[in-house]
Amino acid sequence: MPTVSYINTESIDYSNFSDFIKYLKKAFPLVHKNLKLELINNYSLLYRWEGSTASSDKKPALLLAHYDVVPADTPIAEHGASPSWDYPPFSGAVEEGYIWGRGALDNKTSLIGILEAAEQLISAGFSPKRTIYIASGYDEEIGGKNGALKTAQELKQRGILLDFVLDEGFTIIEPDIFTLLNGPIALIGIAEKGIMDIMITADGEEGHASMPPKNTAAGKLAKAIVAVEKNPFPARIIPTMKSFLKAIAPEVKGITGFILRHSGIFEFLIKKSFALSPTNNAMIRTTQAVTMLKGSEKENVLPKKASAVINIRILPGDTTESVLERIKRIINDKSVKVEVPEYFDAGNPVDESNLKSEGYKIIEESIHETFPGIFTAPSIVLATTDSRHYKDVSENIFRFVPIRINKSNLKTIHGTNERIKEEDFLKVVDFYKNLINRL
């Protein structure tokens, strides 16, 4: 079902969202008989699975997934076949050993996996010791403001505090992506970078390009951009990264392993080598990417205004305020305006969750039970997830989906031919069963 989120919300067809909810009720009858379902803000799902022991004993846990997806094509394929997909993107076709469709990896698989696990457990007579919430937002792909944020606010208002939250964010990464180890690694996100846009605008004199003044708006803007790019945020190894390096160091062979095992002494070397790849670099600093350049609309007209957006991903330790301050200081030009655009919801990073908490232990144990012998490590999620909206109701937010990601299926997330191996999907269900069993 095309539960597609569009930035232009007028294009969203909410009847698909209602149909999806109807489908869930039909597909998981025991869940809907035994759990209490509330719809928050019309389309967000909030299930409550009452625990058997006194509620004071253990705080509830919350399993989170979003059921909206990005478009399957541009313009979106009309429910049917799209020329670029091998099977129609909203058919859920089971072919060639795969389940095909938008959301097969991001992130309907989680929700369906959680509900299927609950359905199987209920049918086997299971009931959880503590209360479990299962929540699903419907606008994660466009920021989560109407979905996850509203649900989290509702919980807060009811005075409900959660022991931990488990959302998407990291997965099992295969060695063709994570090359330091020979086998797959299950990364558990324990922190998340923040996000903000900064708009820089330079004013100039309008006029004909045949008689240009010495300083143009475009020139001033270019100078500001060069200054920003010349001054990257300083590299920092944050506590989450220290835990990550400590976890993988014993497994890494050769000189790299030696350096990682003595990361205190070799910190400068680690920073230097991390800076070489964009992915690793993003783990050790706040990043700034210049996007959306705008100037004159015609080749012979001087722009009255020239502007650019800097998309910034904030490492814990920096804040939206400190970032704005720094960019202003670096540009240091009174004729260039530096501001946070109105359209954008800036968000601070989510600080590290407790590695020693019961929640982390339960997740780690469930991974090991489902995928025997797999290596696990904590890490920082570089993109944003719905879970950030829950930081007022839980100190421990973890981000992990039990699917295997390699170079080739990574491209299908938000791309064409998104699909999951049937056997991998069964593992997703197993993982959530193993997890819920421990709650």
User: What are the catalytic residues?
Assistant: 68, 140
Does 171 engage in binding with Zn ion (CB under 5 A)?
no
Position among 107, 136, 151, 353 found at the interface with Zn ion (CB under 5 A):
107
Q: How far is the CB of 401 from Zn ion (least distance, A)?
A: 9
Residue with smaller CB distance to Zn ion, 67 or 133? 67
Amino acid identity, residue 218? A
Q: Which stretch binds Zn ion (CB under 5 A): 69-77, 100-108, 191-199, 236-244?
A: 100-108
Length of the chain: 439
Q: Distance between CA 119 and CA 52 in Å, rounded?
A: 17
Does 318 engage in binding with Zn ion (CB under 5 A)?
no
State residue 171 phi and psi, 5-degree precision: -145, -165
CA of 187: how far to CAs of 171, 366, 435, in Å?
6, 13, 16
Contact 184, 106 (CB under 8 A): no
Q: Which stretch binds Zn ion (CB under 5 A): 26-34, 98-106, 123-131, 335-343?
A: 98-106
Residue with smaller CB distance to Zn ion, 100 or 274? 100
CA of 232: how far to CAs of 41, 275, 288, 327, in Å?
41, 11, 7, 10
Q: Which stretch binds Zn ion (CB under 5 A): 36-44, 101-109, 201-209, 285-293?
A: 101-109
Q: Which stretch binds Zn ion (CB under 5 A): 107-115, 179-187, 204-212, 376-384?
A: 107-115
Give the other-Cβ count within 10 Å of 329's Cβ: 11
Does 106 engage in binding with Zn ion (CB under 5 A)?
yes
Residue with smaller CB distance to Zn ion, 107 or 409? 107
Residue with smaller CB distance to Zn ion, 70 or 310? 70
Residue 63: partners with Cβ closer than 8 Å, 6 or more residues away: 114, 132, 133, 134, 135, 166, 432, 435
Q: How far is the CB of 107 from Zn ion (least distance, A)?
A: 4
**Burial class for 380, CB neighbours closer than 10 Å (0-12, 13-18, 19+):** buried
Q: Which SS3 state, helix, strand or coil, does residue 272 take?
A: helix
Give the residue carrying structure tokens 């783990």: 283
Size, binding site for Zn ion by CB under 5 A:
2
Residue with smaller CB distance to Zn ion, 107 or 396? 107
**Which residues contact Zn ion (rule: CB under 5 A)?**
106-107
